[in-house]
Amino acid sequence: MNKYELVAKIEAIAPLDTQEDWDCSGWVVDTINSEVKKVMLALTITDDIVNQAKQKKCDMIISHHPMFSVPLKYKDINIYASHTPMDKANGGTTETLIKELGYNNFEIVNDFVRTIKTDISVNDFRKKLEQISHNVRLINNNNIEQIKTIGFCAGSGADFIECTDTDAFVTGDLKYHTAVETSKVVFDIGHFESEILILNRFKEILGIQVEIANEKSPFI
């Protein structure tokens, strides 16, 4: 397989020029070898993930999270990351999460946030989220019981909570002061849990047999 052709499939969905200024998506390591035999998909590149790839005889890793510094010991394996481009993409990180929950109709509020209309109790929606995350944290400062509109941003989307005209919001990495101040029902399902589903989307886009890295959230 030609690695540049594989990357072209991803960039057709998530163009690299859509990344945020602070992001570091794209080629993390681009070795001299353009042909690859096996690809591993991962959410985050770590020593363990690189070791897993080598043990599985993968010569390329495609990840969601980029690297802002690359250890020399990683230099012998191709690594490509699609972070904010995939977050913004149609069918990207947030939409993958929404569809996993069984919703197919949503509106795009900005590059990162999607919203849905529904009619569900806070408790029932929490149970739905618990099917994909055992780390759900609920903030409900106004003791709201029923929600009809929900905003979503996978990963660290707390900055967008007040950008949507919704009753509730789903994201990961919620900070204490944000939780104290919000008037909405907010569900923090964990950064890892909100984004790990994107690996299946990567596999779908590539259309090849891949290895999926063995990863778990660092929070127990």
Domain extents for the chain?
Answer: 3-87, 93-194
Specify the pLDDT at position 153: 97
Specify the pLDDT at position 101: 97
Average pLDDT of 25-52? 97
Q: For residue 185, give the 3-state DSSP assignment.
A: strand
**What is the distance in angstroms between the CA of the first residue and the CA of the last residue of the chain?**
38
- 215 confidence band (pLDDT: 50, 70, 90): very high
Query: Does residue 54 register a pLDDT over 90?
Result: yes
Asked whether the CA dihedral 14, 167, 184, 163 is positive or negative, the reply is positive
Domains 3-87 and 93-194 share a fold: yes
pLDDT in tens, 188-205: 999 999 999 999 999 999
Look over the chain and give the mean of its residue pLDDT values, rounded to a whole number.
97
Count of beta carbons in the 10 Å neighbourhood of residue 4: 14
Query: Does residue 2 register a pLDDT over 90?
Result: yes
- 91 confidence band (pLDDT: 50, 70, 90): very high
Query: Does residue 154 register a pLDDT over 90?
Result: yes
Which option is the CATH number for 93-194: 3.40.1390.30, 3.40.190.10, 3.40.50.10490, 3.10.20.90?
3.40.1390.30
- Pairing label, strands 168-172, 146-156: parallel
Q: Domain 3-87 falls in which CATH fold?
A: 3.40.1390
The pair of three-digit structure tokens given for residue 9, joined into one six-digit string: 């499939």
> What pTM does this model have?
0.95
Average pLDDT of 127-151? 97
The pair of three-digit structure tokens given for residue 169, joined into one six-digit string: 């919001």
Average pLDDT of 126-151? 97
Specify the pLDDT at position 27: 98
How far is 89 from 87, CA to CA, in rounded Å? 6
The pair of three-digit structure tokens given for residue 123, joined into one six-digit string: 């408790």
Specify the pLDDT at position 125: 98
Query: Does residue 220 register a pLDDT over 90?
Result: no
Query: Does residue 23 register a pLDDT over 90?
Result: yes
